[in-house]
Amino acid sequence: MRPSHRAPDQMRAVSLERGVARYAEGSCLVKFGETHVLVAATLEDKLPPWLKGQGRGWITAEYGMLPRATHERTRRESSTGRPSGRTQEIQRLVGRALRAVVDLPAMGERQITVDCDVLQADGGTRTAAITGAWVALHDCFAWMKARNMIPRIPLKDHVAAVSCGIHAGVPVLDLDYAEDSNAHTDANFVLTGEGGLVEIQGTAEKDPFSEADLMAMLGLARKGVGELVALQKLAVG
Amino acid sequence: MRPSHRAPDQMRAVSLERGVARYAEGSCLVKFGETHVLVAATLEDKLPPWLKGQGRGWITAEYGMLPRATHERTRRESSTGRPSGRTQEIQRLVGRALRAVVDLPAMGERQITVDCDVLQADGGTRTAAITGAWVALHDCFAWMKARNMIPRIPLKDHVAAVSCGIHAGVPVLDLDYAEDSNAHTDANFVLTGEGGLVEIQGTAEKDPFSEADLMAMLGLARKGVGELVALQKLAVG
Amino acid sequence: MRPSHRAPDQMRAVSLERGVARYAEGSCLVKFGETHVLVAATLEDKLPPWLKGQGRGWITAEYGMLPRATHERTRRESSTGRPSGRTQEIQRLVGRALRAVVDLPAMGERQITVDCDVLQADGGTRTAAITGAWVALHDCFAWMKARNMIPRIPLKDHVAAVSCGIHAGVPVLDLDYAEDSNAHTDANFVLTGEGGLVEIQGTAEKDPFSEADLMAMLGLARKGVGELVALQKLAVG
Amino acid sequence: MRPSHRAPDQMRAVSLERGVARYAEGSCLVKFGETHVLVAATLEDKLPPWLKGQGRGWITAEYGMLPRATHERTRRESSTGRPSGRTQEIQRLVGRALRAVVDLPAMGERQITVDCDVLQADGGTRTAAITGAWVALHDCFAWMKARNMIPRIPLKDHVAAVSCGIHAGVPVLDLDYAEDSNAHTDANFVLTGEGGLVEIQGTAEKDPFSEADLMAMLGLARKGVGELVALQKLAVG
Amino acid sequence: MRPSHRAPDQMRAVSLERGVARYAEGSCLVKFGETHVLVAATLEDKLPPWLKGQGRGWITAEYGMLPRATHERTRRESSTGRPSGRTQEIQRLVGRALRAVVDLPAMGERQITVDCDVLQADGGTRTAAITGAWVALHDCFAWMKARNMIPRIPLKDHVAAVSCGIHAGVPVLDLDYAEDSNAHTDANFVLTGEGGLVEIQGTAEKDPFSEADLMAMLGLARKGVGELVALQKLAVG
Amino acid sequence: MRPSHRAPDQMRAVSLERGVARYAEGSCLVKFGETHVLVAATLEDKLPPWLKGQGRGWITAEYGMLPRATHERTRRESSTGRPSGRTQEIQRLVGRALRAVVDLPAMGERQITVDCDVLQADGGTRTAAITGAWVALHDCFAWMKARNMIPRIPLKDHVAAVSCGIHAGVPVLDLDYAEDSNAHTDANFVLTGEGGLVEIQGTAEKDPFSEADLMAMLGLARKGVGELVALQKLAVG
C-alpha cells in the first residue's frame, strides 16, 4: 500500500490555473497534490550575446523554492550566495524540456525566461514545474501572437513530466515526498504529447534496478503524461 | 485625483488569510490590493550563538520577491550572489517592528524566523509584510501554546504598518506603485495597536517636506493602522 | 544627566576641516566630538549606463569604517566579501541627502562619488558624514567652476544631519555612543538650510514612542542643524 | 560512418593506470581515447557533521578540468567564484555511482573523497571518471586493509559507465567530442559488474527519441561496460 | 635628478605619531612624505583554531587603502567582493616582517592584529606600514605589560622597511610614486635593527638588473633603515 | 646532509617534455624531481580592454594545483570561491618573469595565457612553472610563426627560476618539500639566460639572514639556472 493510499498507477490530483501572475506575459499555478509551483513566463526582446544573429530565439528557465515550502525550513539561496547544484540541475532540465517542443527560429530573436517558484513542496517539484511551464509558455506565445509579433504559436507539441519509482517492490506513478524518501529507485520522465522521450533520469537510491523495472516505470510514465497532456489541452483550449 | 480613484484617506482592499503554508508553524497571505505577500513563521529551538544564555528569544525576518512579481522581471538574488541593500533594509525593518511587540523573555530561548515573500508587488510590500507577519507570528505562538511550550501568547500589542505620501500636493494613504513612482514624499509608519510609534521613515524624493506634511501623513497613518489592526483582530479572533 | 555631561540641547564640539585629501577634488575631515569622518569627493566624467543621456548629473556616496575605529575591532568588509546591510543603508541615505540640494541638470552629465570613511566612531557617524559631505561636495563644485566646467556652484541649499534620542526619559541632541547604546528611541534627521525635511528615520529601540517625543526630537534637530549649517558657511565662506 | 571510423559498438582504446598520484591512498589515470582523467582517492578519518554517529562511512566526489583540456580554453572555476552547474551535476553523479557499490557500514566512520581531474577532454569525461574512480577507490580500500583499518575491501561489485547516442540515425557506443556535438540523442549509463542499472540519463538534443532507441542504446552500454569491468579486473587483479 | 630633487641616498621626511587611534591598544600614524598610513594594533585573547595549544602567540596584519588615497579613485574592495592579490601580498609581507622580531612564546596564546590603512598614497605604502607597525605593536605590548599580562615587551629587535630602485640609471633610496612609475628596477628591503635581512623583494620592471645594482640598492636600504630605526627609538623612548 | 642526499649545489633531476597538451598552441610537462607541472599556452586574438590600441601584446599566467598534488589534500579553489593569496602571488610572478624576456610589440596585439597546473607538488612549484612556461611559450610562438602570424619568435632571451635556502646552516640549491619545511631562509631567483636578475624574493623564516647568505644563494642560483637554460635549449633545439 502506498502511503497516500493511491493505486500504483494513480496520479495525485492535478490542477493547472492560468493567468495567476498579473504582470507576466504567461503564467500558471500548477498543483500535483500538495506540491504547488507558480510558473511565470517573461518575454525579453534581446538575447544573451552568444545567441545573437543566429535567427532563432531561446527559452531559459529558473527555479526557486520559498524557504518554508518544505517540512523543515531551508536557507534562502540569496543568503548562501549562489544557487545550489540541485537548483541548477533542475533549471537546466526545465529549459531543455521546453526547448524540445519549441520551434526556436519561428519565435524570432527573443528570449523567454520561465520562472518556476515552488510555493509548497511535497515531492515532484521539477515534474510539476515542466508540466505547468508548458502552459505558461503557451500563453506567453498567445500574448505575442495577439500583438502580431508572431504569426502562430511556435509549439511543435506538448511536453509534460512525471516521476516514477519502485516503492516497496512495486513500480508506482507520481511519487510524493513520503514515497520519494523511501523509494529504492527514482526516475523522472519527460515526454511529448506524441509519446516521444525528451529526457530520462533514473537513479538507484539503494540497490541497482533491472531493465524490467525501467520498462515498468516507463509504462507508468506514459500513462501519467497522457493524463497531464489532456489537462494541458483543457487548460489552454 | 489619485490614479487609483481612492479618496486620500482610503486604504486599498486588505485581506489577511491564515494557514496558507501547510508546513509552517504560522502563516498568512496578506493582500493590500494587488500587492500580495506570503508570510511564513518558522520556530527553531536554537538561537544564534550571540544570543544564547540571555534568557530570551529572538524574532528575525527575511524578505524576498519572486522575479516576476513586478512589471519588469527582476534578477533572482541567488544569481546576483547576495541580498540587495534594499532587501536587507526591509528585513531589518520587519524584524525590529515585530520585536517591538513581543515579550522576548516569555518566549524562551527560541528563535522564530518570519519569511516574507512577495508574490506580486504593486507598492507597499514592506508595510503589507509587517501587517501580515503579526498574524503569522501570532499563529506560531498559538501553535507553541497548544503544545504547552509557552503558557500564553507573548504578544504585548498589535503592530501594523502603512505608507503615506504627498501626491500631487495632497497627503494620501497607502501608496500603490503608480503613486509611489510620482510621490514627492514617501513615508512608512509602523505603529502599535495602542497608537505608539515604532518606526518612522520619511524621505523627500524631490523637494524637502514640511513639518505640516509630516503631521498630515502621521494622521493618515493612524487611521490606516487602526483599520489594519481591526482586520488582524478579526483574522485571529 | 547625560553621560557626556552635555545639556540636553547641546551638540558635541564640531569641526569641519577642508582640503585634507591631497588628490581629491574636494574633501573634509568632519569631527562630532570623538567621531571623525574623512570625506573625499571624486569627479568622474562619465555616468553609470542607466543615467546616460538624461541631461543631468548624479551624486553617489560610499561609506566605510576602519576596523579599529570602534571599541571592539570589526571585521574588514573586504574579507566578508560584501558591504553589510548597515553600510548599504548609510550609503543610500548619504546619497539621497546630498542629491536633495543639488541642481543635477546644472552639473552636466557627470558623477561625483563621495567617500565617507570613519576614522574613529563614537556614535553619529552617518550624521557627521552628511554634514561633512556637503563641504566636500561644495569644494568639488568649486574646483569645477575654477576650471570653467560649470558657470556656478549648483547647490540649491545646505544640508546637514543630526541624531536625537530619548535618553533616561529626556529628549537629547546629538547622541554619542554611550547614549546611543542606552537610548529608548533613536532618530536621525536630515534638514536643509531653510529648515525643510529631507529625511526622518525614527526607531523605537524598546518601547514605542509618542508623537510628543517625535516633536521634541524634531525641535532639537532644528537647533542642531542650524548650528551645523552656520559652521558649514564659516568653513566654505 | 562514425567520424572516428569505429564500428557502432566499438569503444575507444581504454587504459587504466594505477598508482599515478604519489601521495594519494589510491589513484588511477584513465584514458578513453583522447579523454584523460586523473583520479585520486583521499581517505579522511572524519565525516561531515550531518553523517556522524550513524555507523557508516561516505564517498564523495569532486570534478575539475584543466583550462586547456579542451579545444578552446575554458575559464578556471576559481576565477568565476564557484563550480558551474555542470561540474556539480557530474560530482553528484560520480558520488552516487560509487556509493551504489560500496558497503558503507563496513568502511567505518570515514570519508573518502575522489578527485576526478580532466587533463584532456574529448567527450565522455564523466563516464571515464566513474570507470577510473572505481580503481582508485579499490586501491584506497586496499591501502586501508593493508593497515588493518578494515578486514576486507568493502566493495559489493564493480561499477563503470559509458555514453551512447544516436548518431546519423544509428545507435553508437562511447561518443567522442565530434560525435557528441552532432548526436541527436545522448545518454549516459552507469551499470554494475552484474549488469544492474545504477543510473540512466538520456537527453534528446533535437527531436525526441523512441523506446526502441533507448533499448538499443542500453544494449550497447551493456557491451561497453562489460569490457570496462574486464579491464578493471585486469588492473587490480 | 630625482623628480623630488632629493639626493639619491635621501629619504623623504618621515614622522611617527603614536596613540592616534583612541580605542586601539597601540597605534601609529606613519608618514613617509605624502604617504600616510594609520596603523592600529588590536589584542585578542584567542587564537585562530590552527594555532591553539602550541604555547605561543601570533601576529597578523591587514592592509587597506581609502578609495581616494590615490590620484585616481580606486574601487572599494568591499564592493569587488574580495581583497585583491596585491592587498593579500602586502598583508602577508607585513605579518612576516613583524613576526621575525617578536618572541611569540613570550606573548602567550594571544593574537595581535595590526591594521594598516593607507589614508594617502605616494609610493612606498608597504614599507611605511611595516615601519609604523613596529611602533604600534610596541605600544600594544606596553599596554599588556602595564596590565601585568606579560612581564616584559617581547620584541627581539626593531624591524623597518624601505624601497630602493634604479631610476634614470642611478640607484636611489625611498621611491615616491613618480619615481616608482619610472624606475627600471624596484626592490623592497625589510631589515632588523641589527642589520639582518628579513625580506628582499626585487623586480625588474623592464630590463634585468645586475648583481652590482642589487648590492648598491642593499647599501642604500641599510642607510635608510638605520634612520628609520633611530626614529622608532625616539618615538617609543 | 640534505634529506635528499644531494650535494648542496645539486639540482634534482629535471625534465622538460614538449607537446603534452593536444589542443594547446604550446605546452610542456616540467619535472623537478617529484614536482610535476603541466604548462599550456593559449593564444587569444584579443587583448583585455585596458591594453588595446597600444601596439603590443601581453603574456598572462594562471596557476592551479590538483587537490591531491600534495601530501595532505587541499581544498579546491573553486569551492572556496576565489584564488588564494598564494595563488595570485605566484600567477603574478610567473607573468612578470615571462614578460621580462618577450618583445611585446613584436607579438602584435594578442594575448597568450600560460596555465601552470601542478599535478604533483614536492617543493619549488613556482620555479618549475617558470622554467617550463618558457618552453610552452616558445612553442606557442613557433606555432604562430608557422602560420605567418609573426615573422620571428619574439623572445629576447631565456628565463628560468630556482629556489635556494639555508638548510642546517648550509646554502643549498633547489629545495624540495622536506628541505623547504625546515629551511631557515628561502629565496626564489628568476634569471635570464645571460645572467640578468629578473626577480629575487628572499624570506627569513626564522632568524634574519646575512648579506653573505644572500650572495651564497645567488651563486647557487646562477649555477642552477645555467643548467636549466641548457635543458631548455635542448628541448626546443
Nine-digit cell string for F106 = 613584436
- How far, in Å, CA of A133 to CA of D228, rounded? 40
B124 is in an annotated binding site: yes
B33-65 burial, b for 16+ CB within 10 Å, e for fewer? Answer: bbbbbbbbbbbbeebeeeeeeeebbbbbbbbbb
User: Pick the residue with more confidence: C51 or E131?
Assistant: E131
In 3D space, the residue among A203, A118, A126 whose CA is nearest the CA of residue A166 turns out to be: A203
CB contacts of A69 in chain B (<8 Å) are: 21, 23
Nine-digit cell string for C71 = 571599541
Decide if pLDDT at F203 tops 90: yes
| D10 contacts chain F (CB < 8 A) | no
Query: Cell numbers 582517492 correspond to what residue?
Result: D41
CB contacts of E211 in chain F (<8 Å) are: 197, 218
Residues of chain F with pLDDT > 90, as a percent, come to 85
Q: Tell me, what DSSP letter sits at residue B12?
A: P
What DSSP string runs through F64-77?
Answer: EE-GGGSSS----H
Q: Is residue C94 part of a domain?
A: yes
In 3D space, the residue among D37, E207, D35 whose CA is nearest the CA of residue D27 turns out to be: D37
pLDDT for D4-27, tens place per residue? 899 999 999 999 999 999 999 999
Q: Which of A22, A76, A77 sits opposite B34 (nearest CB)?
A: A22
Least confident of A212-226, B198-212, D6-20, E141-155: B198-212
- How far, in Å, CA of B35 to CA of B54, rounded? 38
Tell me how far the alpha carbon of residue F139 is from its chain's centroid. Answer: 16
Sequence-ordered list of residues with C-beta below 8 angstroms from that of F5, at least 6 positions apart, any chain: none
pLDDT for C183-217, tens place per residue? 889 999 999 999 999 999 999 978 899 999 999 99
Q: Which residue of B has its CA nearest to A83?
A: B78
In 3D space, the residue among E88, E87, E92, E100 whose CA is nearest the CA of residue E60 turns out to be: E92
Query: ipTM of this model?
Result: 0.93
pLDDT for A141-177, tens place per residue? 999 999 999 999 999 999 999 999 999 889 999 999 9
What pLDDT sits at residue A212? 95
CB contacts of D91 in chain A (<8 Å) are: 85
pLDDT for F72-116, tens place per residue? 999 887 776 678 888 989 999 999 999 999 999 999 999 999 999
Structural contact between residues E20 and E38, judged by C-beta atoms closer than 8 angstroms:
yes
- How far, in Å, CA of A29 to CA of D96, rounded? 33
- How far, in Å, CA of A225 to CA of A157, rounded? 13
Mean residue pLDDT across chain E: 95
- Dihedral angle over CA of D109, D86, D224, A205, nearest 10: 40
What pLDDT sits at residue F183? 85
Decide if pLDDT at C225 tops 80: yes
State mean pLDDT over E133-156. 98
The three-class DSSP label of residue C67 is helix
Q: Is residue C5 part of a domain?
A: no
Mean residue pLDDT across chain C: 95
Mean residue pLDDT across chain D: 95
State mean pLDDT over B93-109. 96
What pLDDT sits at residue A183? 85
In order of B95, B104, B142, the CA distances from B145 in angstroms are: 22, 15, 5
pLDDT for D80-89, tens place per residue? 667 888 898 9
Interface test with A, best of D200, D205, D217, D220 (most A CBs within 10 A): D200
Number of domain units in chain C:
1
Taking CB atoms and an 8 Å limit, are E203 and F199 in contact across chains? yes
Taking CB atoms and an 8 Å limit, are B23 and A71 in contact across chains? yes
If one counts every other C-beta atom within 10 angstroms of the C-beta of residue F39, the result is: 31
Least confident of B118-122, B203-207, C13-17, C220-224: B203-207
CB contacts of D63 in chain F (<8 Å) are: none
- How far, in Å, CA of A216 to CA of A202, rounded? 12
The three-class DSSP label of residue C187 is strand
Q: Is residue A7 part of a domain?
A: no
Q: Tell me, what DSSP letter sits at residue C156?
A: -
Structural contact between residues B67 and B73, judged by C-beta atoms closer than 8 angstroms:
yes
Structural contact between residues E134 and E98, judged by C-beta atoms closer than 8 angstroms:
yes
Q: Is residue F37 part of a domain?
A: yes
- How far, in Å, CA of D35 to CA of D33, rounded? 6
What pLDDT sits at residue F81? 65
Structural contact between residues C159 and C135, judged by C-beta atoms closer than 8 angstroms:
no
Decide if pLDDT at A80 tops 80: no
The three-class DSSP label of residue A59 is strand
Q: Is residue B3 part of a domain?
A: no
pLDDT for B27-63, tens place per residue? 999 999 999 999 999 999 889 888 999 999 999 999 9
Range of the domain at B220: 14-236
In sequence order, the β-bridge partners of residue D32 are D14, D35
Nine-digit cell string for B154 = 507573548
Which amino acid is located at B64 in the chain?
Answer: G
What DSSP string runs through C98-111?
Answer: HHTTB-TGGG-S-E
Which amino acid is located at F67 in the chain?
Answer: P
pLDDT for D48-91, tens place per residue? 888 999 999 999 999 999 999 999 999 887 776 678 888 989 99
What pLDDT sits at residue C1? 81
Mean residue pLDDT across chain F: 95
Q: Is residue B62 part of a domain?
A: yes
Q: Is residue A192 part of a domain?
A: yes
In 3D space, the residue among D226, D10, D236, D23 whose CA is nearest the CA of residue D132 turns out to be: D236
CB contacts of D85 in chain A (<8 Å) are: 83, 85, 88-89, 91-92
- How far, in Å, CA of D136 to CA of F130, rounded? 31
Decide if pLDDT at C45 tops 90: no
User: Pick the residue with more confidence: B219 or F86?
Assistant: B219
Taking CB atoms and an 8 Å limit, are C211 and B197 in contact across chains? yes
Neighbours of chain F (3+ CB pairs under 8 A): D, E
Query: HEC string of E202-213?
Result: EEECCCCECHHH
What pLDDT sits at residue E102? 97
State mean pLDDT over E140-152. 97
User: Pick the residue with more confidence: D153 or C84?
Assistant: D153
Which domain CATH number covers D186? 3.30.230.70
- Dihedral angle over CA of C11, C17, C18, C24, nearest 10: -100
Taking CB atoms and an 8 Å limit, are D85 and A100 in contact across chains? no
Number of B–C residue contacts, CB under 8 Å = 87
Decide if pLDDT at A13 tops 90: yes
Taking CB atoms and an 8 Å limit, are C120 and E23 in contact across chains? yes
CB contacts of B208 in chain C (<8 Å) are: 100, 191-192, 194, 196-198
What pLDDT sits at residue C183? 85
pLDDT for E170-223, tens place per residue? 999 999 999 988 888 999 999 999 999 999 999 997 889 999 999 999 999 999
pTM score, whole prediction: 0.89
Q: Which residue of C has its CA nearest to B205?
A: C100
Number of A–B residue contacts, CB under 8 Å = 93
State mean pLDDT over B185-208. 94
Q: Cα Rg for chain E, rounded, in angstroms?
A: 18
Decide if pLDDT at A81 tops 70: no
Structural contact between residues F99 and F192, judged by C-beta atoms closer than 8 angstroms:
no
Interface test with C, best of B62, B185, B200 (most C CBs within 10 A): B200
- How far, in Å, CA of E144 to CA of E222, rounded? 32
State mean pLDDT over E62-91. 88
State mean pLDDT over B184-190. 94
pLDDT for D104-139, tens place per residue? 999 999 999 999 999 999 999 999 999 999 999 999
pLDDT for E47-56, tens place per residue? 988 899 999 9
- Count of positions (residues) in chain A: 237
Q: Is residue A164 part of a domain?
A: yes
Residues of chain D with pLDDT > 90, as a percent, come to 85
